[in-house]
Chain A
């Protein structure tokens, strides 16, 4: 019994922080329809501010006021005003991409401003390590005591507020149709700004409370906190506040108890503790009926007040412009290839090859999200499966790399299909979260075994040899990648143009609509995941062969998030978009690598911020620029034509 209590107590601070953050998630979701994954980053910001202020010698309570009571809601309201206000009635992907962008951009920004030096976090209220009293023989520390007290007080205040003012009802009205709520005299803007302020306060509070548990204030810890909070919110069905809070606390405690009883030293005990919330999230998502479809996609009854959105289909061009742009693009690509082969110095050749390999992985997102409209936050995991397959096959059976790529693609495809099965009938947000939890379980458990990710040291992977010709040299490998990328691109284009592509386009538009014209939505979702995972697997295998080694950290879940953000910001609907995204990412990475280390986070900042434009330009910035340029070209062509006619007559 006393041993049990000694396992429970350390879980309480985690549980309280999870519960607070989860309450924030549910509140914003209820009030604005946005599942704000950026809360992880917002918690990080508050924790950093608090730590800095205390280190600077400010009294604890002033530091708390500034970092939590002032800064946190301010950030939340700001985000709502400039960004999430416009996504209220948007489809899940449009809500998710900017939140992911922020999750990446905010910590990058913080790192840019304050540098990478590790900071020892400070604790709120009581001194963290001092023991105040004993419970069933176990010491209760200041950390446990202060988090519990603060969390309970804050939650009671929130409950009172929601109860007494009818605010809960107004929030539900606003999220469904802000305009119709306004017709009833409700100030929709205020209601959602308020919800964002309060929930950001909760996120900040969770961050400050949890910070002292970790040895240093590190953004990754707060992302883990976020995912646990997501699991708690899922337990509450993204709606019920009491269940959410309970879920958060229980999750924190069970996680510690499990860690206490598992044999130490095994992959399971070291991996399962952090992975436990993700497992719970997955189980809850799949099993809770009420989450099927989560947010009912009823749509705003007053959406008719908005002008029709611009079409995603590129407008028909004048023949001259269409042909001219093709020729131009072809010449440009050829020029680029030739320069790359002839002129580029060695390390840049590697960078370009890396960019093209990444393009293959990115094409998997073009297939799944661009063509099929599905959300996945585990594309890096699919790529990892392919990479490890190539590595293991080569190490144990001496399998040639190209054959390994095929097997790896096949393996990834199988995993993709398996991941797709439980997502059937889930709504977009739930699919995203489910795939994220799969990625996290893979990171923390599956990829850690020596038979998969090669254990701690990873695997070494050879460069391919085909029919006696070795592609070991970097320029030979470059050309091999060019050919493979061309093949995959062609396959994706054919897929998009064929029957399956049209059916995918139909489910992208509306799954219900597609079903009503006889499209088998479930089958298509599995097909989309399978094909996409296959592409990712091949890309991952190529990546491993390029690096000549691979380890689980190469395909960490964070890469999945970054991939989606990068592709969405450059252009998710076209093959060209994926290739440009791959090149842009690696080239920028290389450029920034030449800068002092404190600028290393610039990359995340750039793409995170560009992803924010996704709300306005779902076609991506490069695609947007291309359309803009073609528009201008067309205007010019028209002008010339008119001129000619005038001259002729």
Chain B
């Protein structure tokens, strides 16, 4: 076990307490690095089937890296990731996507040279013609703004519109697990509300969600569980009700860094952000 000593009871005990909620995604001791720059140091947590989990932490904590490792964009250098009972640690990204785990990456993740509609059609790969038409309709229904710009090149959309398109791509079809990174980035507050409503809907329809979000309250309102990440390690993990106060204390609203009051545990291993020779 690589987690700090100050953790509440280990994850396995809690899972025993709720035997009916098998984890859909199980991340165990994952480490990851960008070339010589190490970013994750033994991250473990799980996403129970049918539930939403919030992944929060200060800037540079490694949230995006966790999302990338899960969806196969970045290879874990150690540890295992299991999805739906299968180990997917070494699977290529396309295979993970086809298994029903979709990832909406941070930022403007659209194909800039393709039209809005072409972007959506690509995201709807593998469904028949009718289902595709329906899904397109749903997407345009959720984001009316996009409907008016069907044939526009995605690269010429405004920043917020591009963000809408990236979310529309992953919300168009029901999936097993949705990993969204920085939902509200660049979106007007009203649109953020709509997006969170849409996520609640698909959650009710059976999709599990792992959500990374800077607006901690919003994320906590949606999620049943919270994982607090800092310096590439899991600091706290547990049901929202239990650890929300602690998370709010460690990660005050608007703070870009961890609140290092005396109660916050010091990181073992010194400065993890510094490049280390391979």
Which of A's residues lie within 8 Å of B, judged by CB? 166, 169-170, 172-173, 176-177, 179-188, 296, 298, 301-302, 304-308
Contacts and interface: CB of A to CB of B under 8 A. Distances in A.
A172 B114 contact: yes
B112 A305 contact: no
B98 A185 contact: yes
B141 to A, nearest CB: 21
Interface in B63-108: 64, 68, 71-74, 92-94, 97-98, 102-103, 105-108
Nearest to A309: B35
A34 B265 CA distance: 51
Contacts of A182: 72-73, 92-94, 97
Contacts of B109: 180, 183, 301-302
B126 interface: yes
Given A170-B122, A182-B97, A296-B113, A301 B108 contact: yes
Interface of B: 34-37, 64, 68, 71-74, 92-94, 97-98, 102-103, 105-114, 118, 121-123, 125-126, 155, 169
Contact of B111 (A177, A305, A307): A177
A298 B122 contact: no
Residue of B37, B94, B123 with most chain A CB atoms under a 10 A cut-off: B94
A176 B111 contact: yes
Residue of A172, A182, A183, A304 with most chain B CB atoms under a 10 A cut-off: A183
B52 to A, nearest CB: 20
A404 B102 CA distance: 68
A301 B162 CA distance: 12
A458 B136 CA distance: 69
Nearest to A295: B113
B68 to A, nearest CB: 6
Contacts of B169: 184
A181 B35 contact: no
A301 B94 contact: no
16 contacts: A169-B114, A172-B113, A172-B114, A173-B114, A180-B105, A180-B111, A182-B73, A182-B92, A183-B73, A183-B109, A184-B169, A186-B122, A298-B112, A302-B73, A304-B107, A305-B74
Given A182-B72, A301-B109, A307-B37, 7 more contacts: A173-B111, A181-B122, A185-B125, A304-B107, A305-B74, A306-B34, A307-B36
A188 B155 contact: no
Contacts of A308: 34-35, 37
B57 to A, nearest CB: 17
B278 to A, nearest CB: 11
Contact of B123 (A170, A184, A296, A304): A184
A407 to B, nearest CB: 48
B68 A184 contact: no
A176 B113 contact: yes
A177 B105 CA distance: 13
A301 B93 contact: no
Contacts of A179: 73, 93
B119 to A, nearest CB: 9
Nearest to A186: B94
Q: Which 3 A-B pairs have the closest CB atoms?
A: A307-B35, A182-B93, A307-B34
A304 B34 CA distance: 10
Contacts of A185: 94, 97-98, 125-126
Given A179-B73, A302-B73, A307-B34, A187 B111 contact: no
Contacts of A169: 114, 118, 121-122
Contacts of A188: 94
A302 B72 CA distance: 12
A182 B109 CA distance: 12
B123 A301 contact: no
Given A172-B113, A179-B73, A305 B68 contact: yes
Nearest to A182: B93
Given A302-B105, A305-B73, A308-B35, A184 B97 contact: yes
Residue of B113, B118, B169 with most chain A CB atoms under a 10 A cut-off: B113
